[in-house]
């Protein structure tokens, strides 16, 4: 790791100490390949705080509780899109058509595209905004949650969705908001946002839950942590509940917890095939 051309000295030991602290706080494991990402993300905090180096910054994080969330926010990934992995929303629509659904939990909501996609699917399938279905959206990143709650996005973010959905679910910005869109109030009211760290002992959510979206977040945890979180989520699900994972996640090692339905969707293992 060459720090000769960097604004701040940055060694392998700095990287190892960063990921050790992140793991202690969140149990998220950073791969060796993330060393450059860590530098580019955290150097902004060093500049903002006028801290001369990474070791001093890590000491600052550990001695200033208010900086912990900035540290976590900087290092958590927020790759998302409206109707990403679109087949999952087809599965959700089918499930809504055949089950009496009351609660849906989006457990890694990032900047809001996923829970609003869930809400759009609910509204279209049920034929109304007020279908009596509670959608809870959570994330560890408080900054991402603020973006999600605002519900304002660049127009480019919704280009991939159908024209009728853009017209029904988004308002075009004017004046200083030209080039942006905002989710309509009826859609926004369908979603409640909360900060939840999946590795903490207590979650701000109770069962039963009909559907859990937990996509492309488990890959950042080691296998024991994955199993622990999955087990807790399955306990919240109704016996015929639906668990939706990301395309890069596989639970072949957890057949005692979930039964694969196809397309990275699962039922609790206690549900037997007919």
DSSP assigned state of 30 = P
Neighbouring-strand partners of residue 153: 181
**189 belongs to the catalytic site:** no
**41 belongs to the catalytic site:** yes
Tokens of 265: 């969707």
Neighbouring-strand partners of residue 245: 214
Q: Is 180 annotated as a binding residue?
A: no
Which position among 19, 35, 103, 139 bears the catalytic label? 139
Domain 12-75: assigned CATH number: 1.10.155.10
pLDDT of residue 274: 37
Tokens of 151: 């519900």
pLDDT of residue 272: 41
Q: Is 114 annotated as a binding residue?
A: yes
Q: How many other CB atoms sit within 10 Å of the CB of residue 160?
A: 11
Residues of the chain with CATH 1.10.155.10: 12-75
Q: Give 10-residue mean pLDDT values along the chain (274 residues).
A: 71 95 90 92 95 96 93 84 95 97 97 98 98 97 95 95 96 94 98 96 95 94 93 96 93 93 92 43
Q: Is 216 annotated as a binding residue?
A: yes
pLDDT of residue 255: 93
pTM of the model: 0.86
pLDDT of residue 4: 52
Q: Is 139 annotated as a binding residue?
A: yes
- Angle subtended by helix axes 142-150 and 65-75, to nearest 10: 70
CATH homologous superfamily of 87-268:
Vaccinia Virus protein VP39 (3.40.50.150)
Residues of the chain with CATH 3.40.50.150: 87-268
Q: Is 79 annotated as a binding residue?
A: no
Residue in 119, 25, 12 with CA at minimum distance from that of residue 68: 25
Which position among 41, 45, 157, 166 bears the catalytic label? 41
**76-105 CB burial, b ≥16 within 10 A, e <16:** bbbebbbbbbeebbebbeebbeeeebebbb
Q: List CB contacts of 31: < 8 A, sequence separation 6 or more.
A: none
pLDDT of residue 273: 43
């Amino acid at each position: 790791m060459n720090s000769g051309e960097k604004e701040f000295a940055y060694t392998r030991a700095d990287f190892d100490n960063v990921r050790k602290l992140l793991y202690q706080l969140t149990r998220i494991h950073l791969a060796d390949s993330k060393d450059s990402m860590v530098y580019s993300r955290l150097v902004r905090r060093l500049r903002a705080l006028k801290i001369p180096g990474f070791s001093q910054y890590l000491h600052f994080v550990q001695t200033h509780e208010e900086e912990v969330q900035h540290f976590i926010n900087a290092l958590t990934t927020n790759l998302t899109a409206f109707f990403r992995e679109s087949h999952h929303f087809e599965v959700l629509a089918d499930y809504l058509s055949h089950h009496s659904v009351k609660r849906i939990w989006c457990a890694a909501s990032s900047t809001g595209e996923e829970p609003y996609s869930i809400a759009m699917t609910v509204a279209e399938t049920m034929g109304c905004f007020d279908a009596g279905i509670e959608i809870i959206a959570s994330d560890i990143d408080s900054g991402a949650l603020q973006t999600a709650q605002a519900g304002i996005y660049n127009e480019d973010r919704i280009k991939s969705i159908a024209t009728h959905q853009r017209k029904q679910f988004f308002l075009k910005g004017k004046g200083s908001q030209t080039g942006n869109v905002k989710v309509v109030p009826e859609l926004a009211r369908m979603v409640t946002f909360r900060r939840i760290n999946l590795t903490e002992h207590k979650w701000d959510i109770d069962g039963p839950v009909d559907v859990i979206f937990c996509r492309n977040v488990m890959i950042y945890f080691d296998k024991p942590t994955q199993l622990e979180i999955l087990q807790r989520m399955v306990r919240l699900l109704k016996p015929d509940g639906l668990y939706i994972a990301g395309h890069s996640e596989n639970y072949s090692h957890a057949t005692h917890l979930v039964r694969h339905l196809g397309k990275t969707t699962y039922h609790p293992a206690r549900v037997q095939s007919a």
